[in-house]
Structure 1
Amino acid sequence: MSSSFTLISSILQRKAHKAGDARQARPHGATPPVVDPDLTGFASHPALVKLRMLTAAAERLGIGNPFFKVHEGSGGAVTRIEGKEYLNFSHYNYLGLNGHPQVNRAALEAIARYGTSVGASRLVAGERPIQRELEKQLAAVYDAEDCIVFVSGHATNVSTISTLFSSGDLILHDSLIHNSALEGIRLSGATRRAFPHNDLKALDALLASSRLQYKRVLIVVEGLYSMDGDMPDLPALVAIKRRHGALLMVDEAHALGVLGATGRGSAEHHGIAGTDIDIWMGTLSKTLAGCGGYIAGSRDLVDILKSAAPGFVYSVGIAPPLAAAALTALRIMRGEPERVRRLQDRSAFFLRLASKAGLNAGTARGYAVIPVILGSSRKAIALSNQLFAEGINVQPVIHPAVEEKAARLRFFVSALHSERDIEQVCRSLARMVH
Structure 2
Amino acid sequence: MGLGDTLRQQLAANALKRQLDRATDAAATPGVSEAQAAASAQTRSARSRFEVMPQYQQVRLMRELGETLRVESPFFRVHDGIAGATTQIGGRDYVNFANYSYLGFAGDPVIASRAKAAIDRYGTSASASRIVAGERPVHRELERALAAFYETDDCVAFVSGHATNVTVIGSLFGPGDLIVHDALAHNSIVQGAQLSGAKRLSFAHNDWQALDDLLTRVRREYRNVLIAIEGLYSMDGDLPDLERFCEVKERHGAFLLVDEAHSLGVLGATGRGIREHCGVASERVDLWMGTMSKTLAGCGGFIAGCQPLADMLRNLAPGFLYSVGLAPALAEASLAALEALIAQPERVARLRERGHQFLAEARAAGLNVGTSAGYAVVPVIAGSSVKAAQWANALFEEGINVQPIFYPAVEEKAARLRFFICSTHEAEQISRTVAAVARLAAG
TM-score for both structures, normalised by structure 2: 0.90
CA distance in 2, matches of 1:102, 1:300: 35
Tell me, what secondary structure is at the counterpart of 1:372?
Answer: strand
**What displacement does 1:39 show?**
3.1
1:385 corresponding residue in structure 2: 393
Where do 1:24-39 residues align within 5 Å?
34=41, 36-39=44-47
CA distance in 1, matches of 2:281, 2:383: 39
**What displacement does 1:304 show?**
0.5
**What displacement does 1:375 show?**
1.0
Tell me, what secondary structure is at the counterpart of 2:180?
Answer: strand
1:87 corresponding residue in structure 2: 95
CA distance in 1, matches of 2:56, 2:220: 44
CA distance in 2, matches of 1:360, 1:305: 42
CA distance in 2, matches of 1:401, 1:50: 14
**What displacement does 1:308 show?**
1.0
Name the aligned partner's letter for residue 392 of structure 1.
I
1:94 and 1:343 in contact (8 A); partners too = yes
Tell me, what secondary structure is at the counterpart of 2:304?
Answer: strand
Tell me, what secondary structure is at the counterpart of 1:432?
Answer: helix
2:127 corresponding residue in structure 1: 119
CA distance in 2, matches of 1:413, 1:63: 26
Q: Which moved more, 1:373-382 or 1:50-59?
A: 50-59
Deviation sequence 1:314-333 (CA, Å, 0-9, x none):
00000010000000011101
1:147 corresponding residue in structure 2: 155
1:142 and 1:267 in contact (8 A); partners too = no
Deviation sequence 1:288-324 (CA, Å, 0-9, x none):
1100000000010011011111100000000010000
2:363 and 2:369 in contact (8 A); partners too = yes
CA distance in 2, matches of 1:347, 1:48: 38
Where do 1:2-401 residues align within 5 Å?
34=41, 36-401=44-409
Gaps of 5+ in 1: 1-30
Tell me, what secondary structure is at the counterpart of 1:267?
Answer: helix
Tell me, what secondary structure is at the counterpart of 1:333?
Answer: helix
2:134 and 2:324 in contact (8 A); partners too = no
Name the aligned partner's letter for residue 50 of structure 1.
Q
Percent of matched pairs sharing the same residue: 55
Tell me, what secondary structure is at the counterpart of 1:118?
Answer: coil
Tell me, what secondary structure is at the counterpart of 1:98?
Answer: helix
CA distance in 2, matches of 1:229, 1:345: 15
CA distance in 1, matches of 2:107, 2:260: 22
Name the aligned partner's letter for residue 114 of structure 2.
A
CA distance in 1, matches of 2:60, 2:166: 29
**What displacement does 1:164 show?**
0.5
Deviation sequence 1:173-208 (CA, Å, 0-9, x none):
000000000000001010011000011111000011
CA distance in 2, matches of 1:175, 1:432: 31
**What displacement does 1:152 show?**
0.3
Name the aligned partner's letter for residue 67 of structure 2.
E
Deviation sequence 1:358-387 (CA, Å, 0-9, x none):
000000001000000111000000000000
**What displacement does 1:56 show?**
1.4
CA distance in 1, matches of 2:433, 2:375: 17
1:258 and 1:367 in contact (8 A); partners too = yes
Name the aligned partner's letter for residue 117 of structure 2.
E
Tell me, what secondary structure is at the counterpart of 2:348?
Answer: helix
CA distance in 2, matches of 1:169, 1:274: 24
1:307 and 1:313 in contact (8 A); partners too = yes
**What displacement does 1:126 show?**
4.4
**What displacement does 1:42 show?**
1.7
2:127 and 2:134 in contact (8 A); partners too = no
Gaps of 5+ in 2: 1-36
Tell me, what secondary structure is at the counterpart of 2:50?
Answer: coil
1:257 and 1:287 in contact (8 A); partners too = yes
Tell me, what secondary structure is at the counterpart of 2:341?
Answer: helix
**What displacement does 1:38 show?**
2.1
CA distance in 2, matches of 1:149, 1:349: 34
CA distance in 2, matches of 1:58, 1:96: 34
Q: Between Structure 1 and Structure 2, how many residues are aligned?
A: 404
CA distance in 2, matches of 1:273, 1:243: 17
Pairing partner for 1:420 from 402, 425, 428: 428
CA distance in 1, matches of 2:48, 2:441: 47
Deviation sequence 1:111-131 (CA, Å, 0-9, x none):
000001111100111421101
2:413 corresponding residue in structure 1: 405
CA distance in 2, matches of 1:168, 1:49: 37
Tell me, what secondary structure is at the counterpart of 1:149?
Answer: strand
Deviation sequence 1:244-273 (CA, Å, 0-9, x none):
111100000000000011101011111111
Tell me, what secondary structure is at the counterpart of 1:211?
Answer: helix
**What displacement does 1:57 show?**
1.6
